[in-house]
């Protein structure tokens, strides 16, 4: 029977954990189950058989972490291991089906006596050292091995986003249209993946992706939290939903991580999950054949556990009114928007930056942006400084938030706190690297890159801020690589919810023409960066010390070492005015970066 037909008729019971159960059997927390495909064949086969005898009608190949980065293998070694894992799973199925006593619980299989083998693929770790195209190619290599072995069911599990999956599901379907594809995601207790994507958004994407026939959630959380998250969701029509929680949460005991033996609690929560309309249930980390048997005995002997799926009202149906964001409204009204960046102080003295902000009130400034410890050197927190500046001046503010300094927990807390205090605009950036002289004592966090953080804010808008969302923009590094790659990255940020972009400072004719091409090819708003240089020394420093900013020689030649401060500022203002004039035909506004917070320059610059 085809797996699709099986799922239409009754619930599917999957197996439980491989890695933690394998370690438990070998009494070795450091044992890597994937290597067991080569060194412990009989152990792997017996684990598969134990799960089937417990009631599992779908088993996963022992290949969750069978990638080169995790196992340190060559492509050839990886291919051999994956082939062996698939063959061991098929062998286990064949041997069990021949046993007269299988299955012990005949009602579990409705007389079908069939077990499905899912080609199990976990996420390849990303640490920034391996190009994305190489990671995608390795995923495709893994799929090819399974396809060559005859794989029909593909289970991508414990993923945190769809970035590679959208390509991979099409890749598999092109090679094998009848393949059945399942995509499962790992959530935290709040219902978000590590990339900030909500459970609701995941199900919506599964529903929209025709190549994905089933999907849901596994790992990360215990059965109780899995139920609490699922009961708040709309389960998509026309897709089969999987739920495979952990046994619970591990505890440290005699220098070992152990999971509690709580099969009864797990079973009861799985029954509640089934009553929500979930189609397939099983276990992940910490679960054993005992968990699956306990669950199967309860569920498969009870024909009442298939629940109806509920339908929830969306934002429009719920009557939530979305409030207007004044800054973004300026874009909609075709106004040339003016944003001015101020750097927070290095110390606890804020008088100077507040005074600068007050001077900007009369210059037509629409928004003050607050940098987040630029150059990797500590300053007053950008969000807190922006809040104080807004409270004391009444000016609109847009703090920068970078990925360098905060982990996921701190980032979420900061965004929630900013929202509660009235922040509705953010500039999301990856962040400057830590200066080399501080890297021995200071480390960058980078749980996200800017696109991942944008997706996280996008999900927070959906889940928490739908009535008055945060409008956020991103950085546009227009001089980085081929223009097609720049545009591709902009489009990824737009897909992640970015509404506008702020560029690096523009100086050369080449920069202007490059930006004009970019603006003609993307549907977004662009604030072009303007930096009036204020001295010969300042101009040379920016040209030679700051990467990503291209200062032509003709600009340097406009300055002299013996120029007065006033004279040099007028030169910088005149150059800025000329650049603005050249940008005016396509720029949606201007983003001023004033050296040393010299806001008096705004009175000297002509904004078109």
Annotated binding site for Zn(2+): 219, 284-285
CA distance 347 to 245: 48
For the chain, how many helices (H) and strands (E)?
23, 18
Question: Could you give the 3-state DSSP secondary structure of residue 243?
Answer: strand
Residue with tokens 């190549």: 211
Q: How far is CA 115 from CA 251, 336, 436, 488, in A?
A: 33, 64, 56, 43
CA distance 314 to 309: 16
Strands (E), 432-553: 471-476, 500-505, 525-530
Question: Could you give the 3-state DSSP secondary structure of residue 157?
Answer: strand
DSSP state of 586: T
CA distance 419 to 405: 19
Q: How many CA atoms lie within 13 A of 247 on its CB side?
A: 25
CA distance 566 to 445: 42
Phi/psi at 428 (5° precision): -100, 120
CA distance 469 to 480: 31
Spatial contact of 584 and 523, defined as CB atoms under 8 Å apart: no
Q: Which of 48, 44, 13, 45 is nearest to 293 (CA)?
A: 13
Both tokens of residue 121?
Answer: 């693929």
Q: Which of 349, 292, 327, 366 is nearest to 57 (CA)?
A: 292
Signed CA dihedral, 427, 430, 436, 441: sign only? positive
Question: Could you give the 3-state DSSP secondary structure of residue 256?
Answer: strand
User: Can you say which residues are annotated as belonging to the binding site?
Assistant: 219, 284-285
Residue with tokens 């509640």: 272
CA distance 593 to 358: 17
CA distance 259 to 246: 9
Q: How far is CA 419 from CA 139, 318, 341, 371, 424, in A?
A: 39, 22, 20, 18, 6
Q: How many CA atoms lie within 13 A of 1 on its CB side?
A: 18
| Dihedral, 194, 198, 199, 201 alpha carbons, nearest 10 | -130
């Amino acid at each position: 029977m085809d797996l699709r037909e099986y799922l239409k008729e009754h619930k599917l019971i999957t197996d439980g954990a491989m890695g933690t159960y394998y370690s438990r059997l070998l009494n070795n927390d450091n044992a890597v189950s994937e290597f067991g495909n080569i060194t412990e064949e009989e152990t792997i086969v017996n684990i598969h058989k134990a799960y089937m005898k417990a009631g599992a009608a779908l088993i996963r190949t022992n290949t969750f972490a069978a990638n080169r980065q995790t196992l340190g293998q060559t492509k050839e070694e990886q291919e051999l291991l994956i082939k062996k894992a698939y063959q061991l799973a098929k062998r286990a199925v064949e041997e069990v089906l021949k046993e007269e006593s299988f299955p012990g619980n005949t009602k579990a299989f409705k007389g079908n006596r069939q077990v499905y083998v899912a080609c199990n693929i976990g996420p390849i770790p990303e640490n920034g050292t391996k190009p994305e195209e190489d990671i995608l190619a390795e995923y495709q290599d893994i799929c090819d091995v399974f396809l060559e072995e005859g794989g029909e069911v593909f289970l991508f599990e414990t993923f945190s986003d769809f970035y590679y999956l959208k390509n991979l599901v099409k890749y598999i379907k092109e090679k094998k249209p009848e393949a059945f594809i399942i995509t499962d995601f790992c959530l935290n207790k709040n219902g978000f993946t590590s990339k900030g994507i909500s459970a609701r958004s995941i199900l919506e994407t599964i529903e929209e992706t025709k190549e994905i026939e089933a999907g849901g959630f596994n790992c990360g959380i215990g059965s109780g939290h899995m139920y609490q998250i699922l009961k708040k969701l709309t389960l998509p029509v026309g897709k089969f939903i999987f739920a495979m929680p952990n046994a619970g949460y591990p505890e440290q005991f005699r220098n070992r991580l152990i999971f509690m033996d709580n099969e009864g609690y797990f079973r009861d929560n799985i029954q509640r999950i089934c009553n929500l309309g979930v189609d397939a249930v099983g276990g992940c980390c910490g679960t054993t054949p005992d968990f699956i048997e306990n669950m199967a005995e309860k569920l498969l002997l009870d024909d009442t556990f298939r629940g109806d799926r509920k339908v929830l009202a969306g934002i429009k149906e719920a009557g939530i009114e979305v409030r207007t964001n004044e800054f973004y409204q300026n874009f909609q009204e075709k106004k040339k928007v003016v944003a001015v960046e101020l750097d927070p102080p290095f110390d606890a003295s804020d008088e100077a930056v507040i005074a600068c902000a007050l001077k900007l009130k009369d210059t037509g400034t629409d928004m003050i942006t607050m940098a987040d410890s630029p150059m990797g050197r500590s300053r007053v927190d950008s969000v807190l400084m922006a809040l104080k500046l807004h409270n004391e001046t009444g000016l609109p503010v847009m703090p920068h938030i970078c990925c360098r300094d905060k982990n996921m927990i701190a980032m979420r807390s900061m965004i929630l706190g900013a929202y509660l205090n009235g922040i509705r605009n953010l500039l999301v950036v990856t962040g400057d690297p830590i200066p080399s002289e501080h890297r021995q004592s200071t480390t960058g966090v980078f749980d996200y890159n800017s696109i991942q953080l944008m997706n996280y804010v996008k999900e927070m808008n959906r889940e928490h801020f739908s009535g008055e969302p945060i409008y956020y923009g991103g950085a546009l590094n227009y001089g980085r690589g081929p223009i097609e790659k720049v545009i591709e990255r902009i489009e990824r940020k737009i897909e992640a919810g970015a509404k506008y972009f702020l560029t690096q400072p523009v100086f050369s004719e080449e920069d202007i023409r490059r930006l004009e091409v970019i603006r003609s090819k993307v549907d977004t708003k662009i604030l072009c960066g303007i930096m009036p240089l204020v001295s010969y020394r300042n101009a040379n420093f920016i040209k030679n010390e700051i990467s990503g900013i291209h200062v032509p020689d003709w600009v340097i030649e406009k300055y002299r070492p013996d120029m007065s401060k006033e004279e040099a500022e007028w030169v910088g203002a005149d150059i800025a005015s000329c650049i603005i004039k050249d940008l005016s035909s396509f720029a949606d506004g201007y983003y001023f970066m004033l050296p040393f917070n010299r806001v008096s320059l705004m009175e000297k610059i002509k904004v078109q």
